[in-house]
Amino acid sequence: MRIGTAVLRDGLQLILYGFTLEDVCTQDRDMTAFLAPDRPSVDQAHAAALTAGGVSEGAPGLRPQYHANYYGAYFRDLDGNKLGVCCHDPA
């Protein structure tokens, strides 16, 4: 298991970790998502993940196909697990 960490504003820490289960990592069946308090936190989490070695799966932005205020970002951790961070509040 590889681990990467990054500290966001106010001491919130983003921890990137992964389990090397073949059926999860290679078949893209699962995603872990985190709810952010606001849009800047989504931006910061995505940037921190990339700084820690993660790979972007979708830059921060609105996803109107989910709903009008859905603001999210997606990335893969160091083991290839897909993670997301989103906010449902208006700007």
Cα gap 28→8, rounded to integer Å: 27
Place of tokens 């078949």: 27
Whole-model pTM: value is 0.71
Q: What pLDDT, in 10s, does the model give residues 33-79?
A: 888 999 999 999 999 999 999 999 999 999 999 889 999 999 999 88
Residue 81 pLDDT class (50, 70, 90 cuts) = confident
22-25 own/partner pairs: CB under 8 Å, 24+ apart: 24/81, 25/79, 25/80, 25/81
Instruction: Give the pLDDT confidence of 7-20 residue by residue, as tens digits.
Output: 665 655 565 555 55
So what's the pLDDT on residue 24?
45
